Amino acid sequence: MPSLQPVTTTKSAPLVYYAQTMPGVEQIAWLEVRKCFPQAALKEYLFAKDKNGILVFEYDGLPDDLLKMRATEDVFLLALSTEISSRTWSGLQEVMRAIEAAPLFAQAAQVFCKQRGLGPRLTYRVVTRMEGQHQYRRADLEEAVIKGLKRRFGGHWLLVEEGADLEVWVNLLGARLLCGLRLSDRTMRHRGYQRIHLPASLRPSVAAAMVLLTEPDTGDTFLDPMCGSGTLLAERMLAGPYQQVLGGDLDARHVEAARQNLSGLGRRWHVSQWDARQLPLAAASIDAVATNPPFGKQIGSRQEIALLYPAFIAEVARVLKPGGRAAILSSQYALLKEAVRQQRCLQIVRGYSVAVLGEWGRIYLLSRK
């Protein structure tokens, strides 16, 4: 996937899109949209517990430009956004009628077909999800959606199970019905560089969000002192030009995995076996840090991380340049905040609660005075 740089796009009437990412990352994803597509306009955030966050926005450029975003896992053309008044069986009739009548559906389908070089006759599949209490099942919702699409497009759209030209994704979040035509595919969330996966590996979209918070710059020396399989290092390398990317891990297997995953992504990177509590780096030599220390669940015991956090935060404070930034993801809130308080040169700028591997954590953005 190419690195994301500001683009020049053609002038047209703004279309409405929505992006899905990990729960809690939607606000950071908006920072990415705003940075790279200044003409985009935020409409709203939506949230589905433990599944993902949704960012709805207007954008008047080319739809495929949006596929370059890295803190996002899927991008859709908005086809329908409405409220369903009933959560009983009669609500399914509302869903069917809403899809049949929605004015945005025809516009979104036209734009999609133009972008993909498709004619009016195409194959499609439906993906549904539900949040909240309803009398009916997800399968019933899918059936209502298909009936609405058949009434709207008749024989021009053919329902298939695999290999469809078009995917219609339907979110019923309580009373809110949101439908979109999927512009992205699985490669947006599953990066090609991930040859080796390790337990508790960071999701690429979350890693990209953390890198974004460090405000990447062409002159950066970037560090992940506990790099695991190298996802944060890879996302920094793909985010744009840099001076040097450094990473390391105590486990030799992790070091080898990171090296294999980074191979071929770029130059001026180095991964070492080291202890994050005693980094072999000069003081004030690092511009940006992003790391995902153990939560004490899958990796590391409570006793181990109680000793680890103060020591590695002290090293972050030592190696960061004045004005440097660090993004640290952890569920050990009290332990991390106390470790930061012990370093007078560090301060917490902001925190973002995010869901990772079914557990809530928080990305803490730190700055070095």
State the DSSP string of 41-80. EEEEEEEETTTEEEEEEEE-S-GGGGGG-SS-SEEEEEEE
Integer CA distances (angstroms), 21 to 3, 236, 349, 366, in order: 18, 18, 23, 23
Ramachandran angles phi, psi of 81, nearest 5°: -145, 115
| CA-based radius of gyration for the chain | 23
User: CA-based diameter of the chain, in Å?
Assistant: 68
Sheet of 122-131: strand order equals: 41-48, 52-59, 15-21, 74-83, 176-182, 166-173, 122-131, 157-159
Q: What is the pLDDT of residue 353?
A: 94
Q: What is the pLDDT of residue 336?
A: 96
Q: Do domains 15-188 and 204-368 have the same CATH topology?
A: no
Which pTM value belongs to this model? 0.92
Question: 138-153 and 90-101 are packed helices; what angle lies between their axes, rounded to 10 degrees?
Answer: 30
User: CB count, 10 Å around CB of 64?
Assistant: 12
Domain ranges (residues) in the chain: 15-188, 204-368
Domain 15-188 has CATH 3.40.1400.10: no
136, two tokens: 């009916």
Q: Which CATH superfamily is domain 204-368 in?
A: Vaccinia Virus protein VP39 (3.40.50.150)
Count of CA atoms in the C-beta half-sphere (13 A) of 353: 7
Which residue, 152, 180, 162, 208, is CA-closest to 25?
208
345, two tokens: 């040169």
Instruction: Characterise 289 by phi-psi region: left (phi > 0), alpha (psi -120 to 50), beta (else).
Output: beta
- Is the distance from CB of 228 to CB of 258 less than 8 angstroms? yes
Mean pLDDT by 10 residues, the chain (369 residues): 40 82 94 95 84 90 94 96 96 96 91 92 95 95 96 93 96 95 93 87 95 97 97 97 98 96 95 98 98 71 86 98 98 95 97 86 97
Burial class of residue 129, CB neighbours in 10 A (0-12, 13-18, 19+): middle
Q: What is the pLDDT of residue 125?
A: 97
